Structure 1
Amino acid sequence: MPAKTLLIPTADGRADAFAAFPDSDERHPGVLLYPDAFGVRPVVEEMARELAGHGYYVLVPNIFYRHGAAPVIELPEHISAETRPAVFAQVMPLIKAHTSERALRDAEAYLGFLTGRPEVSAGPVAAVGYCMGGALAMRTAAAYPGQVAAVAAFHPSPLVTDEPDSPHQGFPEVSAQVHLGLAEGDMTPESLSELNRALDAAVVSHTCEVYPDTTHGFTMSDTDAFSPSGLRRHWDRLLPLLDRALTGR
């Protein structure tokens, strides 16, 4: 599967990004894939290649590019329960610095770059995200409803908060088809109820599931949270969503 590293011009500099796409001369629907808080790394690149194998051009930006090229921090080969606190101690300042204002400026640049690629077909794209990338995907879909036809978030960071810019406040602007794949314990029953009320009120086509026997981060095979069954369920939900929204299949 062809892949390359690209540089995306943004309002604040240039974001490095990983791109994977089918090995053909045809144009393909675009997918903007936001990684989790651990960033662009081999497991995420492999997921992008897997998705590209199903006929999509997949762009994975380094969301922390303001702090350097990926990998922004040094990661162990496997993020275990023992190493996770030390890794998060490095990641948390980057997360806190990535404000919603920065995220939306970047989203505009990412979408413009993705839709301008010669390998990407005309028409809307999808936004897919993991962990904090799930919230970024939802923010992107809300801010750019004319460009995002499908959005999926897996074990997302909080989508319902008390902050005025809580991601769920933007749901009324979303026109994309939505799938949320939550881990057990990702949300309290009260927050989950509020999330579903917000989705219902937005009158968008959506599914919201708690994946059984999973913990936060279940799609990532380089962490202790990995769940093979959770990853399979993720593909079983994601691929049909993209087919419906982007190819009409």
Structure 2
Amino acid sequence: MPFSEMKIKTADGEADAWLFTPDSRPEPVEAGVIVYMDAFGLRPAMSEIGEILANAGYVTLIPDLFYRNAPYGPFDAKTAFKNKDTAKELRGIMSSTTQAMTISDTAAFLDTLEGEGAKSIGTVGYCMGGPRALNAAARYPDRIAAAASFHGGNLASDAEDSPHKAANKIKGRVYVGSAGVDKSFPPEQSAKLAQALREAEVDHIIENYVGMQHGWAVSDHDIYDAEGAKRAWKRLFTLFEEALH
């Protein structure tokens, strides 16, 4: 499976990114995926996600959303928020990397995938990447055919950039897999997001993974759950197979 490191020119600079290409590309549709990382940056667990998607036939791009703060880290998903110094650094980077920045950068990410031959593109985000994947679908409705979020937080908050407020701009299909109990996406937010998507007539599924904790789908988290991740992959492939082909 071909893999390459690249730099993507954005309006604010150059973002490091990883590109994963299938060994054999499916015909007639070339499908691509943008992966919006969680808070711990590019690392082996993100590479694993890229490899799985590429092995399933998707040209996959994983950009460094924190490139404006580079160099930073590295961060260990199991310990970063438990250590006072790394937690402070990480929270600072997260707060300074706004949704607006990522959505602006997404134009360049889409151009990159389209330059690789992708004619149909989906997005998927984990944790902080979840709302960005949905907001990208709202900002580029004619270029993103499907968007997925796994244990994404604040999908229907009071913030101006909350994804539910842009639901009426989404044209693609949406899948949201939420942790069973997650203070960053409580039941009231789930209900609010569902209402917004339904009123906007967006084809969507919001699914509650009972017993799973925030971060369960990424392999280097201390609460990673292999069975939950297997289920998440099954749902994601169903979404992409139906929406991108």
Q: TM-score range by the shorter chain?
A: over 0.9
User: Is 2:145 aligned against 1:149?
Assistant: yes
1:44 is matched with 46
- Which 5+ residue runs of structure 1 have no aligned equivalent? none
The change in CA–CA distance for 1:85 and 1:135 in structure 2 (over 3 A counts) is farther
Equivalent residues of 2:81, 2:87 under 8 A apart: no
Q: Please tell me the residue identity of whatever aligns with 2:174.
A: V
Instruction: Determine the C-alpha separation between the residues in 1 that align with 2:240 and 2:38.
Output: 20
Instruction: Determine the C-alpha separation between the residues in 2 that align with 1:67 and 1:138.
Output: 23
Q: Please tell me the residue identity of whatever aligns with 1:230.
A: G
1:128 to 124, 130, 133: 124
1:196 is matched with 194
Q: Please tell me the residue identity of whatever aligns with 1:136.
A: R
Instruction: Determine the C-alpha separation between the residues in 2 that align with 1:130 and 1:20.
Output: 18
Counting only pairs closer than 5 Å after superposition, residues 82-161 of structure 1 correspond to structure 2 as 83=82, 86-117=85-116, 120-121=117-118, 123-161=119-157
Q: Please tell me the residue identity of whatever aligns with 1:201.
A: E
Counting only pairs closer than 5 Å after superposition, residues 12-51 of structure 1 correspond to structure 2 as 12-24=12-24, 28-51=30-53
2:4 is matched with 4
User: Is 2:218 aligned against 1:220?
Assistant: yes
SS of the residue aligned with 2:145? strand
Equivalent residues of 2:80, 2:87 under 8 A apart: no
1:34 deviation in Å? Answer: 0.6
User: Is 2:58 aligned against 1:56?
Assistant: yes
Aligned residues: 241
The change in CA–CA distance for 1:75 and 1:101 in structure 2 (over 3 A counts) is closer
Q: Deviations 1:198-228 (Å, cap 9, x if unpaired)?
A: 1111101111011121000001121112011
Equivalent residues of 2:80, 2:86 under 8 A apart: no
RMSD (Å) for aligned C-alpha atoms: 1.8
Equivalent residues of 1:81, 1:224 under 8 A apart: no
SS of the residue aligned with 1:139? helix
Q: Deviations 1:144-197 (Å, cap 9, x if unpaired)?
A: 000000100000021111122222101110011110000012222222211110
Instruction: Determine the C-alpha separation between the residues in 1 that align with 2:133 and 2:66.
Output: 15
User: Is 2:216 aligned against 1:240?
Assistant: no
Instruction: Determine the C-alpha separation between the residues in 1 that align with 2:218 and 2:229.
Output: 8
1:135 deviation in Å? Answer: 0.8
The change in CA–CA distance for 1:129 and 1:25 in structure 2 (over 3 A counts) is closer
Instruction: Determine the C-alpha separation between the residues in 2 that align with 1:244 and 1:167.
Output: 23
2:159 is matched with 163
Instruction: Determine the C-alpha separation between the residues in 2 that align with 1:173 and 1:190.
Output: 22
Equivalent residues of 2:24, 2:57 under 8 A apart: no
The change in CA–CA distance for 1:193 and 1:26 in structure 2 (over 3 A counts) is closer
Instruction: Determine the C-alpha separation between the residues in 2 that align with 1:82 and 1:35.
Output: 16
Instruction: Determine the C-alpha separation between the residues in 2 that align with 1:134 and 1:84.
Output: 24
The change in CA–CA distance for 1:25 and 1:224 in structure 2 (over 3 A counts) is closer
Equivalent residues of 2:127, 2:153 under 8 A apart: yes
The change in CA–CA distance for 1:88 and 1:230 in structure 2 (over 3 A counts) is farther
SS of the residue aligned with 1:148? coil
The change in CA–CA distance for 1:192 and 1:24 in structure 2 (over 3 A counts) is closer
Q: Which shifted more, 81-90 or 49-58?
A: 81-90
Instruction: Determine the C-alpha separation between the residues in 2 that align with 1:44 and 1:139.
Output: 21
Equivalent residues of 1:129, 1:136 under 8 A apart: yes
